Structure 1
Amino acid sequence: MILTKKTTVMNREDIKAMVSLLDDTDVEVVSIIETNLKNLGQEAIPILKREKENKGLNPTVQKKLEDLVHDMHLSNLFAEFEIWKNTNTSDLLTGLWLISKYQFPDLKIETISEEIKNIQMEIWLRTQDKMHPNDMVKVLNEVIFEYFMFEPNIKNFHSPSNSMFNLVLKEKKGNPVALSCLYILLAQKLDLPIYGVNLPNLFVLIFDYPGYRFYLNPFNRGQVFVEKDIDDYLKQMNIEPNEKYYKSCSNTEIIKRILTNLSFAYQKAGEEDKRMEINEILTLFE
């Protein structure tokens, strides 16, 4: 087999042959093999995973395969984030799914979507035509916090799990932005004008209907409040009022904020490699 700087699609036997060379004593050979395997793209990942599970494989080679698969996942994820940012920012669910894929690369978006549909169905069963906005919010709060028993993750506020939306849905716990995302996704399905508001050190929601506007705090079980409360909050934080603190933010801002939270969570946990990888993804949003 001729080693080249670039490879084309190869079958499983070719890949296995390349894997066998990962413990070669020639550093240059190993480097070219690693590059060639990376160039094979996402389709090669399942084969590399199976090879990694081979019990007779050299532990050094197993570690190299593990690192290779991780690097390939990260490269694919970076590309997917770039596509989302440039073409698909109206789809918040996909943005949340991509963040979860950092930790759970095999996660299917349908897994998250089905969970949202289950909650949506329970809300739909409790609603009627032409309900007052306040009554709609009451139903949302009842279903989310009483029926499905979601709660603010106060104990582990800075846990990375708060940024993994699949874990938020599974564990029924989240930080302000995670719980707000749940509201936003449900609101989209129910045609409700509920959007995110990117406050300093807090993330809340706005119910923004012409002639009728108020705010919600999902981290306080959907508590309703008004614009003056934001005035008081900013004053308490010694922050100058700004128009953006009273208006809805974009999905891009939401995803950027979650990634920023995740980077901080990994820093706090001492996982520097993960922090740097998330920061690399964040460069797409700068």
Structure 2
Amino acid sequence: MSENELKALVSLLDDDDKQIADHVQAKILSLGTEAIPFLEKEWESNLNPDVQTRIEELIHTLQFDLVKERLLHWYKSPDPDLLTGMWILATYQYPDIELEKLQQEIEQVYYETWLEFRPDLYPLDQIKIINSVIFNKLKFGANTKNFHSPGNSMINVVLESRKGNPITLCVIYMLVAQKLKLPVHGVNLPNLFILTYKDDNHQFYINAFNRGLIFSKQDIENY
């Protein structure tokens, strides 16, 4: 579809006839994500607030569809990388965020932890070192004031603000722990996402939303 044809469609977004407006929106959505750059340009140049609002809605819908498609492809891949999945999720609100930048930031958190980490220690003591670096030195923590903020689910925002929800904090913690070759994995409890350290000889749990609080299997059973 030519740019002039797209312009003509956009001009009909505020048509008084709802059927026409709905048909136009459906037509634009059928073009897929390739229409996003044009819609963004139209949003900047269009002075009609109603049209701008509808353009925003179209862009968000197209971006959401793209994120769903990419997440599905990621999920079906042979070995889905957790950070890549979090990056795809973040692109819904931050489409220009680069995976490489996130990788560098996680690498920095890992490096800060590695400097103090000792592989010869007992697992609980190893986790205490990670807790000290992540929550004391680097100041990561729970965003309890704005718990429901969408930014808490965006790993780029959490890496910058150092505040997040249980899932993003656990993801960052787990990525670092696994780079240190520790058997740390996610556990989804009712109303709370936590981590577990589990190998052939040890199992305990870590609450990254509460500064890495460590608790036992018995505590989980009584949860």
| TM-score category (smaller protein) | 0.7 to 0.9
How has the CA–CA distance of structure 1 residues 182 and 58 changed in structure 2, closer, same or farther, with 3 Å as cutoff? same
| 8 Å Cα contact 2:117-2:130 kept in structure 1 | no
Is 1:122–1:143's contact at 8 Å kept on the other side of the alignment? yes
**Among 209, 218, 221, the residue aligned to 1:228:** 218
Q: How many positions carry a matched residue from both structures?
A: 223
RMSD: 2.7
The residue aligned with 2:178 is: 188
8 Å Cα contact 1:165-1:178 kept in structure 2: yes
Residues 1:87 and 2:109 are matched in the alignment: no
Q: Deviations over 1:124-145 (max 9, x none)?
A: 2223554442342132112201
Aligned residue in 2 for 1:73: 63
Q: What residue is the counterpart of 2:207 in the other structure? A: 217
Q: Residue 119 of structure 2 contacts residue 126 of structure 2 at CA under 8 Å; is this kept in 1?
A: no
Change in 2 beyond 3 A, CA 1:22/1:177: closer
Give the drift of 1:21: 4.1
Point out which structure has higher relative CO (alpha carbons under 8 A, 6+ apart): 1
Is the contact made by 2:185 and 2:197 (CA closer than 8 Å) also made in structure 1? yes
Whether the 8 Å contact between 2:169 and 2:208 is mirrored in structure 1 is yes
1:169 partnered with 2:159:
yes
What do residues 204-235 of structure 1 show as CA deviations (whole Å, max 9, x unaligned)? Answer: 2111122122222222321222222223x33x
1:123 aligns with 2:113: yes
The DSSP-based 3-state class of the residue aligned with 1:127 is coil
> Which residue, 98, 104, 110 being the options, matches 1:108?
98
Pick the aligned partner of 1:36 from 27, 31, 53. 27
The reply on whether 1:203 has 2:193 as its aligned counterpart is yes
**Structure 2: gaps of 5 or more residues:** none
**2:137 maps to 1:147:** yes
**What residue is the counterpart of 1:46 in the other structure?**
37
Superposition TM-score, scaled by structure 2 size: 0.83
What residue ranges of structure 1 are gaps of 5+ in the alignment? 1-9, 235-286
Q: Does 1:98 align with 2:88?
A: yes
Q: Encode CA deviations 1:87-128: one digit per residue, 9 max, x unaligned.
A: 367322233233333433443333432221110121222235
Judge which range, 134-143 or 13-22, deviates more. 13-22
Deviation at 1:49, TM superposition (A): 0.2
Aligned residue for 1:71, secondary structure, equals helix
The answer on whether the counterparts of 2:86 and 2:155 sit within 8 Å (CA) in structure 1 is yes
Rate the CA distance shift 1:24–1:166 in 2: closer, same or farther, 3 A.
same
CA distance in structure 1 between the partners assigned to 2:193 and 2:18 by the alignment: 50
1:41-99 C-alpha deviation (Å, 9 max, x unpaired): 212201210111005x3333222222221221122222223323333673222332333
Q: Which residue number corresponds to residue 20 of structure 1?
A: 11
Helix, strand or coil at the partner of 1:155: coil
Q: Would the alpha carbon gap of residues 162 and 89 (structure 1) be closer, same or farther in structure 2, given more than 3 Å must change? A: farther
CA distance in 1: counterparts of 2:104 and 2:116, whole angstroms: 19
Give the deviation of 1:35 after TM superposition: 2.7
Q: Quick one: which amino acid aligns to residue 48 of structure 1?
A: L
